[in-house]
């Protein structure tokens, strides 16, 4: 007998029964479903809808169901429709017919969204913990490399020298914003739907605030119909995961190249690489490639949720059962990715000599040279052209830009020509960029410290 079977003459079509069931995935909400059910039966007892003694029996019965579910894996295998039916059926085995009272005036429409909100809230907290470890590892590496010059890239071409710490701080700050997005989303997730019934609210005198308090919700939903039908909180969560995953993928992409033989700026911890079945020399950055790859999965989950919601009429529709797997999938990808990234970053070895050697490329000083000429009075656009011509001349003759500039500027700009040692020194170049947010070591140290501080909120 299904829990809704009263007006049915027979059971459902076998194939449809399987198609309709969500227990294979919504069993992940068991702890949340039981916590919410406990709060609900207590509220029933408090308002006199059922005797307090019955509420206590139900409350304890729910604990028994949970404990057995944890201890006995087989206990969870039951041919039920969903996690809500599972709890009700198992509760019936513990407390008999009284189990039916746990459902007094309560709809699965409010149960499913209550459990999902609790689950998302807990997951946000775990994810933020993991993210904190990634940022902390980046900041630590960045502080260690705050003075280490390396090439900075635009269009994947060496552009201007920066410090390794500057690069690390850039990625750290993007992740700080992801943390802030998750924190913001948490506030809108953390709202209690219970007391909404199927869509119209409840005729019982349930103390919604007390239920919210017990479950750690910060507010009660202000409209029962909205509460059961909307999943914007899930979209926000998955959207924050998608942005986070995009940032992690970019970081992974950078480290894949920086650790490769062309750059050799860092070495990946061996435990996060894998060998090749054919080529004995390989240590492949599979961990980072998977983090990058999982971004596609989370993007898909976000589109899946948005598409699911678009065009639904007001009220609960069974379409909404499809929300959970997208949420779980995005969460699993993000949780896994932050854990792996924290390990990879903490275990990275920096290769300052390789970074420094690459940062000595003379053409990266071209912009600094043009600025120096302009500061001596030459209009910048003209200075840009003069240095551009020097670059072309040096390339054509296969000569060093520095020597070419020494010759070319001796007459026209002797003051700049006299400072070429300094202007072609990458350490000098980064030290000069000392504004807040710039790549000078002191500015970088401050930025890195700021990133850690911003995470505390």
Catalytic residues: 155, 276
Which has the closest alpha carbon to 157: 410, 440, 363? 363
The residue range among 106-114, 228-236, 337-345, 446-454 that interacts with ligand ARG, by the rule CB under 6 A, is 106-114
Give the Cα-Cα-Cα angle 197, 198, 202 (nearest 5 degrees): 25
**82 touches ligand ARG (CB under 6 A):** yes
Beta bridge partners of 219: 191
Distance separating alpha carbons of residues 273 and 283, to the nearest angstrom:
6
User: For residues 296-355, which are near ligand ARG according to CB under 6 A?
Assistant: 316, 318, 320-321
Indicate the residue among 196 and 321 with the shorter CB distance to ligand ARG. Answer: 321
**Angle at CA 345, nearest 5°, toward 343 and 347?**
70
- Residue number, 316 or 424, with CB nearest to ligand ARG: 316
**Contact of 298 with 245, CB cutoff 8 Å:** yes
Return the number of the residue (111 or 337) whose C-beta is nearest ligand ARG: 111
153 to 182, contacts with ligand ARG by CB under 6 A?
none
Shortest Cβ distance from residue 108 to ligand ARG (Å)? 4
217 vs 316 by CB, closer to ligand ARG: 316
Closest CA to 193 of 205, 210, 208: 208
Binding mask 20-59 for ligand ARG (x = CB under 6 A): --x---x---------------------------------
Min separation Cβ 167 and ligand ARG, Å = 44
108 lines the binding site for ligand ARG (CB under 6 A) = yes
Closest distance of CB 248 from ligand ARG, Å: 30
Output the smallest distance, CB 77 to ligand ARG, in A.
18
Select from 322, 286, 328 the least CA-distant residue to 307.
322
> 173 vs 316, which CB is nearer to ligand ARG?
316
Interacting span for ligand ARG (CB under 6 A) from 8-16, 104-112, 260-268, 325-333 = 104-112
Q: Which is nearer to ligand ARG, 272 or 316 (CB)?
A: 316
Q: How far is the CB of 113 from ligand ARG (least distance, A)?
A: 8
Task: Classify 284 as helix, strand or coil.
Answer: strand
Min. distance of Cβ 130 from ligand ARG in angstroms? 27
Residue 15 DSSP class? H
Give whichever of 33 and 299 is closer to ligand ARG, judged by the CB atom: 33
DSSP H or E stretch at residue 187: helix 164-189
CA distances from 236 to 52, 117, 119, 256, 376 (A): 39, 12, 14, 30, 52
What the block records as the tokens of 54 is 């019955």
Strands, E assignment, 155-216:
157-163, 191-192
Which residue in the set 37, 101, 109, 123 belongs to the binding site for ligand ARG (CB under 6 A)? 109
What is d(CA 320, CA 228) in angstroms, rounded to the nearest whole number?
10
Query: What's the closest the beta carbon of residue 87 comes to ligand ARG, in angstroms?
Result: 12
CB of 191 to ligand ARG, least distance (A): 18
b/e map of 364-394 (b: 16 or more CB within 10 Å)?
Answer: bbbebbbbbbbeeebeeeebbebbeebbeeb
Q: How many residues bind ligand ARG (CB under 6 A)?
A: 10
Give the separation between CA 270 and CA 344, rounded to whole angstroms. Answer: 9
DSSP 223-264: -HHHHHH--HHHHHHHHHHHHHHHHHHHHHHHHHHHTSTTT-
**110 near ligand ARG (CB under 6 A):** no
Structure tokens that stand for 295 in this block: 């971004």
Residue (22 or 163) nearer to ligand ARG, CB: 22
Q: Is 230 in the site for ligand ARG (CB under 6 A)?
A: no
* Stretch (H or E) spanning 121: helix 108-144
**Owner of token pair 């995470």:** 455
Residue numbers at the binding site for ligand ARG (CB under 6 A): 22, 26, 82, 108-109, 112, 316, 318, 320-321
């Amino acid at each position: 007998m299904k829990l809704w079977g009263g007006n049915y003459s027979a059971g459902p079509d076998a194939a449809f029964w399987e198609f309709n069931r969500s227990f294979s995935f919504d069993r992940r909400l068991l702890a949340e479903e039981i916590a919410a059910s406990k709060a609900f039966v207590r509220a029933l007892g408090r308002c006199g809808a059922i005797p307090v003694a019955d509420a206590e029996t139900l409350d304890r019965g729910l604990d028994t169901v949970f404990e057995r579910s944890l201890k006995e894996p087989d206990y969870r295998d039951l041919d039920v429709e969903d996690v809500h039916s599972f709890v009700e059926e198992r509760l019936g085995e513990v407390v008999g017919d009284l189990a039916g009272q746990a459902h007094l005036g309560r709809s699965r429409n409010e149960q499913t969204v209550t459990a999902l909100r609790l689950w998302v809230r807990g997951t946000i907290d775990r994810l933020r913990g993991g993210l904190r470890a990634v940022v902390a590892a980046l900041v630590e590496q960045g502080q260690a490399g705050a003075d280490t010059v390396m090439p900075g890239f635009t269009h994947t071409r060496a552009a201007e020298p920066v410090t390794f710490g500057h690069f690390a701080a850039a990625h750290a700050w993007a992740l700080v914003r992801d943390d802030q997005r998750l924190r913001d989303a948490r506030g809108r997730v953390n709202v209690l739907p219970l007391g909404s019934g199927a869509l119209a609210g409840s005729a019982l005198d349930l103390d919604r605030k007390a239920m919210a308090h017990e479950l750690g919700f910060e507010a009660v939903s202000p409209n029962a119909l909205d509460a059961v039908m909307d999943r914007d909180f899930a979209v926000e969560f998955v959207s924050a995961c998608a942005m986070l995953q995009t940032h992690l993928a970019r970081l992974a992409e950078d480290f894949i190249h920086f650790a490769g033989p062309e750059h050799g700026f860092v070495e990946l911890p061996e435990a996060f690489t894998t060998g090749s079945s054919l080529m004995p020399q390989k240590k492949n950055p599979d961990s980072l490639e998977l983090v990058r790859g999982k971004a596609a999965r989370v993007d898909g989950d976000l589109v899946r949720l948005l598409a699911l919601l678009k065009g639904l009429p007001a009220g609960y529709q069974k379409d909404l059962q499809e929300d959970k797997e997208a949420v779980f999938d995005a969460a699993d990808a993000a949780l896994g990715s932050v854990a792996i990234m924290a390990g990879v970053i903490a275990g990275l070895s920096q290769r300052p000599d390789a970074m420094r050697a690459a940062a000595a490329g003379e053409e990266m000083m071209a912009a600094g040279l043009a600025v120096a000429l302009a500061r001596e009075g030459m209009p910048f656009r003209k200075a840009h052209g003069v240095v551009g011509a020097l670059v072309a001349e040096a390339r054509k003759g296969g000569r060093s830009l520095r020597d070419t500039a020494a010759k070319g500027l001796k007459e026209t700009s002797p003051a700049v020509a006299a400072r070429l040692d300094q202007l072609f020194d990458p350490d000098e170049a980064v030290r000069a960029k000392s504004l807040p947010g710039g790549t000078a070591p002191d500015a970088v140290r401050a930025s890195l410290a700021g990133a850690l501080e911003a995470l505390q909120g």
